[in-house]
Amino acid sequence: MENRPQWMSDPLVKEIPETKLEFLGEMFAEGHGKSQKEMMAFLMPMMKKARAENLTFTPQEMNAAIAAIKKHSSEEELKQIDKILDKAGKEKQIE
């Protein structure tokens, strides 16, 4: 994959299958810069796509991917990630 984000090569994610990394990479790239409201509208179809492709993530995989992404993110990107994670956490509590 050309222009592969640095986080995808981080040792933290070395155990995560390539298909899962590509999915997460697409999700974060397309979600970058969206408002919280836009992000939620964007995340729902992405989660359906993950289910359709039988992509499931263990808590360990998600934690490793998030840690790697944060490690290679700017201050602005970190704020966006924290907003997304906060919103996603609240959505999960509702389900």
In this predicted structure, the answer to whether residue 94 has a pLDDT above a threshold of 80 is no
Dihedral (CA of 24, 27, 29, 33) sign: negative
Mean pLDDT of 23-36: 80
Inter-CA distances, 63 with 24, 26, 41, Å: 12, 17, 23
Q: Are 31 and 42 in contact (CB under 8 A)?
A: yes
Average pLDDT along the chain: 83
pLDDT-based confidence at residue 1 (cuts at 50, 70, 90) = very low
Residue 9: predicted pLDDT:
93
pLDDT single digits (tens) 45-85: 888 888 899 999 898 998 999 899 899 888 988 887 887 77
**Prediction pTM value:** 0.74
pLDDT-based confidence at residue 91 (cuts at 50, 70, 90) = low
pLDDT single digits (tens) 4-27: 889 999 999 999 999 999 998 888
